[in-house]
Amino acid sequence: MIRRIAPVAALLFVGVIACAFAEQAGLYSEPQAKNGQSIYHQMCGNCHRDDLAGGEHAPALKGDPFWQEWDQQKARLLYRRIISTMPLEDPGSLAEKDVIDIVAYLLKENGLPSGSKAIESANQLNNITLERPK
Amino acid sequence: MMNVRGCSGVAALLGSMIATAGAQPKPASGEWQSYGGDKGFTRYSPLAQINRDNVKNLRVVWHRPAVDPLIMDKFPDLSPSNYFRGTPVFINGVLYAPNGVGLVEAFDAATGQTLWVQQPVEPTLKEAAGQSTRGVAYWRKDTDERLVSIRRDYLYALDAKTGKPCRDFGENGRVWLNRHTPDEAGYFGYPGPFVVNDVIVVGGNGGGKSGEGYGDDGFEGRAKPEDIRGYDIHTGRLLWTFHVLPHKGEPGYETWGKGSADYVGNMAAWASMTADEQLGYVYVPLSAPTVSYYGGHRPGENLYSDSLVVLNAKTGKLVWYFQMVHHDLWDYDSATPPILGEINVDGKWIKAVIASNKTGFLYVFDRATGKPVWPIEERPVPQSDTPGEETWPTQPFPTKPPAFDRQGFTEDDLIDFTPELHRKALEIAGHYRLGPLFTPPSLMTTGADAKKGTLALPSAWGSGNWNTGAFDPETGMYYAVSMTQATAYGLAKATDPKATVAYWIPFESAPRQAESNRPRRTLLPGEVEDYDYDESGGFRVNGLPLMKPPYGRITALDLNQGTKVWMVPNGDGPRNHPLLKDLNLPPLGNIGRPVALLTKTLLFLGDASNALYGHAGIAGPAKFRAYDKATGEVIWQTDLLVGTTGGPMTYMAGGKQFIVVPIGGKGYGGGWIALGLPE
């Protein structure tokens, strides 16, 4: 759906995007995403599939379906969704670090760049706005 | 009589109540006693304050978030799913419903203000986390009022006045429902529990993961049968278990060849049951066996898969049954509440049960005897050439009423708004076998005449589903809500070392969601995404469905005559797509699983949420509409923030009629909105 924005609001919007890009540069580390991939395959891949393509009863977590939901959303919300609804048979059971690493893996798979520092705590995700790469 | 305060009374008092138990009190006028409206799940209310003349004045009078701040403030990392299922029940001025994490909430029906919220058993995120369910069950006797709900692996009984657990029920107010599968699958009871007199009847999933994820696909034939269980409303004690897959020595065991009865499972009731409390019967719709798309390991009719089973609610004994699909190879579950209503056929009143499934048929019976109201014929169907498969030679075809959605797939069904669209659709369809309803899944082949399997209509998501059906007891009209969506059944050898069945549908054969990870283009307002498939796996051509419309529809069937009266599309569908917008097309219908609400003169129906279907087929904002139920004419519609995720319901509070509906969607979350007329 197209976002209709007034000119002034558009300028603000551009500013937000610039800020979001700056925040997202190097948000997570490669080892962190790799660990997240491992946990994902163990805990999530059965339903969402190892290639994140989604299954009969689980949405895809890559590409358009992912960005439909998470574009312009705070990264903490993605963390919250995972830790409080997944895995389906035991929601709330994953450790904070494991969920952060899964978030890192999803960001990597959806085209956001890695950096040298890992995400250390869920609080670091509070002010990060996810933005789909152009 | 001694006043029993809620469910805190001692066992002795409960014992005396059992001894003096009479019939359930008649619901007070205007109550919405189950989330389907009543125990027959008619989704009907006789209320008429909101009518065709004033419906245009409806506005949102209050709304509530999916989870009350009393919970969210304690657990800020809770993030309820967008798929917010809970439809409230309305009892004596109070609405009760499962919230976005499955905890029960009570709120004032006139204002939406919180009265109480069920608390997690421990103050941890793990205990607070959960999924919403479709509704709760309400029970009362004298002053004892209970709400019964299912949350994660547990059946709960709560004091309706306080939301506190009934400590005399199970272990501190709850009973463990897990089915103890070898793969430690969780239990899922999204339809919620169902109360028949003093017995709680529980269906639900949880029979196993089928090897690769939950659901009906996979290559693991071993699972637990998802038996139906009856529990005592007072104590939570297990009273009986009905074996959805008969044990050795029970009738029906012989319908499972090659010893499959000893290890196959699933077949849950995952749509709501219904009940005739005077007869004492509960009507249970059952689903497909493991695995759904290949049955070489389970030759036979496979009772009681895909059956309507009718049980004595007190004993769990089978009264009668009807199997709607023999030896299922399509996942054509009976996924629809078997609606109860009285019809007048050839001058004779019949207390009927109106069953349905994913095929788009209605199967109408005398609900006491199981005798079909109109003949249901066993007709020959196409046979499989997949090695090892023994297709059942016939399937039941109701002679009346006509099917409420399209069945079978031919080239005539392909989209043809433009020659180019039709050419592309023919090209896609050319890779598949086509055929009538019940054409079996087929092998994916290579070579000059390579095929990718069978292209089928309806799909495994069904034309009808849990959302289908509303019945008007005053006119005998049944309103089917359905969608038209194709699917591919392409089988391959199961080569994984862990596989326990010979063939399966590999995930790679299905349209893939993540393949749409490509550069984004700017969409026009109201335009649908240009997917090659939608999020439920349906095929698309330039973002449009492979088939001709309508993609979502309402069909009015006169069950006194067994005839179709009218059919209309529900919603615009993709008529604003760039390839169609200049064609001045009529509404094409939106796909999805919205639920109807019937009142004295109107039929209310929203668009389905994008939580399940993305934007496939829905143009612009989701809408909520009022139809003239006599003609199908749209009388009024309004924009919603997001689509509907559960059924609308209605009631009177403070002299005013309200309509409440759960909504949810991507980027929004979920919540309830209440619509009412201005003062």
pLDDT digits (tens, 9 = 90+) for B579-601: 898 999 999 999 889 999 999 99
SS3 B303: coil
Give the strand pairing for B596-598 and B503-504.
unpaired
Nearest CA to B608 out of B493, B466, B489, B498 is that of B466
- Set of chain A residues whose Cβ sits within 8 Å of the Cβ of B152: 91
For chain B, what's the residue count? 679
Please tell me the predicted confidence (pLDDT) of residue A10. Answer: 35
d(CA B631, CA A58): 38
CA–CA dist B657, B671 (Å, integer): 20
B462 dihedral zone (left: phi>0; alpha: psi -120 to 50; beta): left
Q: What percentage of chain A's residues is helix, strand, coil (to nearest 5)?
A: 55, 5, 40
C-alpha B198/C-alpha B341 separation (Å) is: 22
Contact by Cβ (8 Å): B141, B120: no
Give the pLDDT score at B507: 64
Per-residue pLDDT averaged across B330-343, rounded?
97
| B75, B81, B515 ranked by CB distance to A85: nearest | B81
Average pLDDT over residues B258-274: 95
pLDDT confidence of residue B5? 40
Residue B111 has pLDDT above 50, yes or no: yes
Q: What is the DSSP letter of B227?
A: -
* 3-state SS, residue B623: strand
pLDDT, average across residues B392-415: 97
Average pLDDT of span A40-44: 92
Q: Token pair 């429902």 is at which residue?
A: B177
ipTM > 0.90, yes or no: no
* H or E segment to which residue B429 belongs: helix B419-429
Greater confidence, B355 or A51?
B355
Structural contact between residues B131 and A88, judged by C-beta atoms closer than 8 angstroms = yes
User: Does residue B139 form part of some domain?
Assistant: no
Interatomic CA distance for residues B325 and B407, integer angstroms: 14
Q: Are B6 and B161 in contact (CB under 8 A)?
A: yes
Tell me how far apart the alpha carbons of residues B170 and B177 are, in angstroms, rounded to a whole number: 11
Query: Across the interface, do B520 and A64 touch by the CB < 8 Å criterion?
Result: yes
Residue from B460, B482, B468, B465 nearest B536 by CA: B460
Query: Which chain B positions have a beta carbon within 8 Å of A130's beta carbon?
Result: none
Token pair in block for residue B651: 């009631």
Please answer yes or no on whether A64 and B610 come within 8 Å at the CB atom.
Answer: no
Domain map of chain A by residue range? 28-125
DSSP bridge partners of B409: B435
Amino acid letter at A97?
A: K
- Rounded to whole angstroms, the Cα distance separating B534 from B532 reads 7
Q: Kindly report, residue by residue over B12-68, the tens digit of the pLDDT.
A: 333 333 333 333 333 445 789 999 999 999 999 999 999 999 999 999 999 999 999
Task: State CA A72 to chain mean position distance.
Answer: 11
Q: How far is B216 from chain A (nearest CA, A)?
A: 8
pLDDT: is A20 or B20 the higher one? A20
Using the predicted structure, report yes or no on whether residue B573 has a pLDDT greater than 60.
Answer: yes
Q: How far apart are CA B42 and CA B428, in angstroms?
A: 40
- With CA atoms as reference, report the closest residue to B210 among B286, B305, B292, B331: B292
Report the relative pairing of strands B477-483 and B552-558 from DSSP bridges: antiparallel
Position B672 in a domain: no
Q: Quick check: B28 and B577 in contact, CB under 8 A?
A: no
> pLDDT category, B534, cuts 50, 70, 90?
very low
Any bridge partners for residue B622, and if so which?
A: none
**For residue B153, is it within any domain?**
no
Q: For B618, name the nearest residue in chain A, comparing CA atoms only.
A: A1
What backbone phi and psi angles, to 5 degrees, belong to B273?
Answer: -85, 175
Backbone angles phi, psi at A8, to 5 degrees: -65, -45
Distance separating alpha carbons of residues B538 and B485, to the nearest angstrom: 6
Q: How confident is the model at residue B186 (pLDDT cuts 50, 70, 90)?
A: confident
- B25, B316, B349 from B280: Cα distances, Å: 15, 10, 20
| Backbone angles phi and psi of A12, in degrees to 5 | -60, -40
Cis before A87 (ω within 30): yes
Q: How do beta strands A114-115 and A28-29 pair?
A: parallel
Q: How far apart, in whole angstroms, are the C-alpha atoms of residue B108 and residue B32?
A: 14
The number of folded domains in chain B is 1
Look at domain A28-125 and name its CATH class.
mainly alpha
Q: How far apart are CA B105 and CA B121, in angstroms?
A: 15
Using a CB-CB distance cutoff of 8 angstroms, which residues of chain B are in contact with residue A54? 512-514, 535
What was the pLDDT predicted at B214?
A: 53
Could you tell me the CA-to-CA distances from B401 to B28, B332, B355, B376 in Å, in that order?
34, 19, 12, 10
Q: Which amino acid, B7?
A: C
Of residues A51, A60, A84, nearest to B78 (C-beta): A84
Q: Which of B188, B520, B535 sits opposite A65 (nearest CB)?
A: B535
Where does the pLDDT of residue A13 fall: very low under 50, low under 70, confident under 90, or very high at 90 and above?
very low
To probe the interface with B, which of A70, A77, A82, A89 has the most B CB atoms within 10 Å? A89
Residue whose C-alpha is closest to residue B433's, from B416, B458, B415, B408: B408
**What region does B583 belong to: left with phi over 0, alpha with psi -120 to 50, or beta?**
alpha
Find the domain containing B396 and state its range.
338-465+468-607+610-643
Residue range B335-355: average pLDDT? 98
Which residue does chain A place closest to B461, by CA atoms?
Answer: A56
Asked if the C-beta of A6 comes within 8 angstroms of chain B's C-beta atoms, the answer is: no
Q: Find, among B146, B148, B144, the residue nearest to B136 by Cα.
A: B148
Q: Looking at the domain assignment, is residue B665 inside a domain?
A: no
**Chain B residues whose beta carbon lies within 8 Å of the beta carbon of residue A110:** 517
